[in-house]
Structure 1
Amino acid sequence: MVEKENNSVITLCQDLIRFNTSNPPGNELAAALFVEARLRQAGFETSLIKHDENRATLLAMLEGRPQSDTFLFVGHLDTVPCGDLSKWERDPFEAFCDGERIIGRGASDMKGGLTALLTAAEVVKGRKVNNTIILAFTADEESGCLGAISLLDIPRIKDTKMLLIPEPTSNQIGVAEKGALWVRISARGKSAHGSMPDQGINAINEIIALMNALDLSDFELEKNNHLGTFTHSLNTISGGIKTNIIPDSCEISMDIRTLPTQNHRDILTAIAGAVKQVTDQHPEYAFSCETVISKPGLETNCGQAQVARIVDLIQSSKKDVNKIGLNYYTDAAVLVPALNVPFLLFGPGDADQAHATNEKLDLSKLYQSCEIYSEILKKIAFE
């Protein structure tokens, strides 16, 4: 890319980062309006899906020929919160550029990816296209995927033949993503004086017994070439009031990451089995289990014609490109099962920088992603 184009790409990415779309609360509306204005200038028909006063998902469409294929590009407007601001070297919404990198919240995940989509949209400006192109900029991907869910109510979305998402892949080709099953487990006990534990029911001990009984090792045996193995971790625990009081409640949350071939119902059945095992031995114990998030693992069919065409284009445009899997879920976890379409994940951000303090984006990867997405849109639009 020439220097003038590079400068405009940097400016666009900085403009997007400067919209504070930390989720919660999100506040994606202002960013959506900014993106909408650019896409209207490029000839797209746009509409906003309002979620509340300050939250929205943007839909932009360029209609192709009758009976043409529809390609859906989806990027999320929200970011995770910044965390402890004192640990940031600079204001996370300054979008400082040092000549090699842009630093700021969302730089890698995924304001850089949005920049690539918006830059690529310029290649169709003022031109008729053969296939229909839909660009969606969603709210709430970092929480419950509210924006992606709302897209499923749009009739035109149901015509989608392929989905592309500029998630941070360091410009590698993402062909799979792990599922996520978040489970909250609560134990109910009976409080008593700490010196008389036999008069109470210790809820923390209940949780310890349950964790010792829970065996998910069978799920760990399976391996996926792009995703590795199933993982699970106990990531929060809350219980007890004071050292000298037997705790009458304890709550934990588990983060379970699954492979595309694994059914979340089977995992929940294993958890229920552990609960039964413990309560059979200790009838006084009481548990409740809640599924907080359940997003399936996904793997695309690289032999499908549309996918193979885009993969070939990326591989011909870039050296040292590989097919990879993502350990986390994306908006694809909502859209792919509902639409039954193949998907690819491809973007300039670095997954190691996503959600990190002092989040960074390499400009060289950003420029490359802009060029490749421009070529993808040309191929879809005009061939």
Structure 2
Amino acid sequence: MSRDYKAEEILKLAEEYKQDMSRFLRDMISIPSESTQEKEVVLRIKEEMEKVGFDKVEIDPMGNVLGYIGHGKHIIAMDAHIDTVGIGDPNLWHYNPYEGYEDEEVIVGRGATDQEGGMASMVYAGKIIKDLGLEDDYTLIVTGTVQEEDCDGLCWQYIINEDNIKPEFVVSTEPTSCNIYRGQRGRMEIKVTTKGISCHGSAPERGDNAIFKMAPILIELRALGENLHYDEFLGKGSLTVSEVFFSSPSRCAVADGCTISIDRRLTDGETWQGALEEIRNLPAVKAAKAEVSMYDYSRASYTGLVYPTECYFPTWVIPEEHPVCETLVEGYRKLFKSEPLVDKWTFSTNGVSIMGRYGIPCIGFGPGHEVEAHAPNEKNWKSELVKCAAMYAIVPILYVKEQAEK
């Protein structure tokens, strides 16, 4: 059992580890780690977990790194995906995105907020737990997960189904500006394809132009996007056309194929079946006899493992009065002597599998701001790394004590 503790002790120790967290975050930033290329950053995380005293550190066959603290019966997990997007146009960066920049307040570099800052705070929360003897009847599993930017939640499909890890709840450390987030809209990746007949471009009447057949579909999709379902908490569903592809024998020919990609965000109350049917029922889709389907994902992880899935990422919400949400609210009050904002993400997280597919309660609390994600000059705040490390250290013991009283 843990010894008695004071929230002030946890917060004080988190502040003392600010420079260690900053150094560790900068080390992770310096290692390019786009989806399917995370091997080196995973090894660096494993090294840091072992250095600060985790009881066990493993890398699973998919390439996720899992660090364990404690051996109690309550299984609690905290998650950060440690892959990043690319850097985009390098001319938009004021600093080298991998060398980064640091001053007294911020750390700049690709992955600073999305999402390696959360990993830095989690690892040092583990050290705080060890230093203060906060182990209790729980096993804390800190996960550094792969391929989230490519296919959010795929890593947790693997962890739950293949590693056979089913926590009582998971804290997602995606950026929340140190607010508590309890849900997000889901999403789908949809493709619509029209088919035509090619012919020489000098006599287009001899063929059937697949691009022209797509044009009225695009107009109707824009109108559909303006009239999707609205949920009071998560807001409105959304739809945007994100890509256009074509097939044609040459630039001097009528196109015989056209495909568009649709990014469809699902609010609470919408289903993937309904989203597909809304598109299939559009008059222009019917007139063109267009094919409407969901994309699949089957890209190999850096270990070579292929774990295919459909590109559907379910909506999820937990109630504000859920014990897990209340645990984080209590932890926030104890540590920071103020009331937290309880809100939601705009973007998608691994919660689409944790809660969306498998019903395991998921709650968000992370350093950094959503607006920094995927942006040039991405940054995180050292003060938020400290706050999050303290919160991650206090949550497991609060949860276990609450459960023991029931």
Give the TM-score of the pair, scaled to structure 2. Answer: 0.83
**Cα distance change, pair 248–209 in 1 and its aligned pair in 2 (3 A):** same
**Cα distance change, pair 176–8 in 1 and its aligned pair in 2 (3 A):** same
Alignment equivalent of 2:389, drawn from 367, 370, 383 = 370
Between 145-154 and 97-106, the greater mean CA deviation after superposition: 145-154
Please tell me whether the aligned partners of residues 123 and 377 of structure 1 are also in contact (alpha carbons under 8 angstroms): no
Amino acid at match of 1:300: I
Query: Are residues 1:246 and 2:270 paired?
Result: no
- SS in structure 2 opposite 1:326? coil
- SS in structure 2 opposite 1:81? coil
Deviation of 1:184 after TM superposition, in Å, equals: 1.5
Deviation of 1:202 after TM superposition, in Å, equals: 1.0
In structure 2, the partner of 1:329 is 348
- SS in structure 2 opposite 1:168? coil
**Count of paired positions:** 369
Please tell me whether the aligned partners of residues 19 and 30 of structure 1 are also in contact (alpha carbons under 8 angstroms): yes
Query: Are residues 1:307 and 2:325 paired?
Result: yes
Amino acid at match of 1:11: R
In structure 2, the partner of 1:291 is 295
Alignment equivalent of 1:200, drawn from 192, 200, 207 = 207
Please tell me whether the aligned partners of residues 225 and 240 of structure 2 are also in contact (alpha carbons under 8 angstroms): no
Deviation of 1:123 after TM superposition, in Å, equals: 2.1
Q: Supply the distance in 2 between the matched residues of 1:50 and 1:82 (Cα, whole angstroms).
A: 28
**Cα distance change, pair 63–252 in 1 and its aligned pair in 2 (3 A):** same
Query: Are residues 1:350 and 2:369 paired?
Result: yes
- SS in structure 2 opposite 1:252? strand
Q: Supply the distance in 2 between the matched residues of 1:39 and 1:99 (Cα, whole angstroms).
A: 25
Structure 1 unmatched runs, 5+: none
Alignment equivalent of 2:142, drawn from 129, 135, 138 = 135
Please tell me whether the aligned partners of residues 133 and 381 of structure 1 are also in contact (alpha carbons under 8 angstroms): no
Q: Supply the distance in 2 between the matched residues of 1:118 and 1:189 (Cα, whole angstroms).
A: 56
Please tell me whether the aligned partners of residues 50 and 57 of structure 2 are also in contact (alpha carbons under 8 angstroms): yes
Between 146-155 and 260-269, the greater mean CA deviation after superposition: 146-155
| Residues 1-383 of structure 1: pairs in structure 2 closer than 5 A | 1=12, 4-23=16-35, 26-41=36-51, 42-51=53-62, 56-65=63-72, 68-125=73-130, 127=133, 128-144=135-151, 145-154=153-162, 157-158=165-166, 160-214=167-221, 216=224, 220-225=228-233, 227-239=234-246, 244-274=252-282, 277-278=283-284, 281=287, 285-287=289-291, 289-292=293-296, 293-318=311-336, 319=338, 321-380=340-399
Q: Supply the distance in 2 between the matched residues of 1:156 and 1:289 (Cα, whole angstroms).
A: 31
Between 347-356 and 144-153, the greater mean CA deviation after superposition: 144-153
Give the TM-score of the pair, scaled to structure 1. Answer: 0.88
Deviation of 1:329 after TM superposition, in Å, equals: 1.5
Please tell me whether the aligned partners of residues 190 and 262 of structure 2 are also in contact (alpha carbons under 8 angstroms): yes
Amino acid at match of 2:159: L
- SS in structure 1 opposite 2:274? helix
Q: Supply the distance in 2 between the matched residues of 1:164 and 1:119 (Cα, whole angstroms).
A: 15
Between 317-326 and 96-105, the greater mean CA deviation after superposition: 317-326
**Cα distance change, pair 191–251 in 1 and its aligned pair in 2 (3 A):** same
Amino acid at match of 1:58: V
Structure 2 unmatched runs, 5+: 1-11, 297-310
Q: Supply the distance in 1 between the matched residues of 2:163 and 2:287 (Cα, whole angstroms).
A: 53
Q: Supply the distance in 1 between the matched residues of 2:281 and 2:41 (Cα, whole angstroms).
A: 47
**Could you report, residue by residue, the CA deviation over 1:130-158 in whole angstroms, capped at 9, with x for unpaired residues?**
21211111111111244222201356522
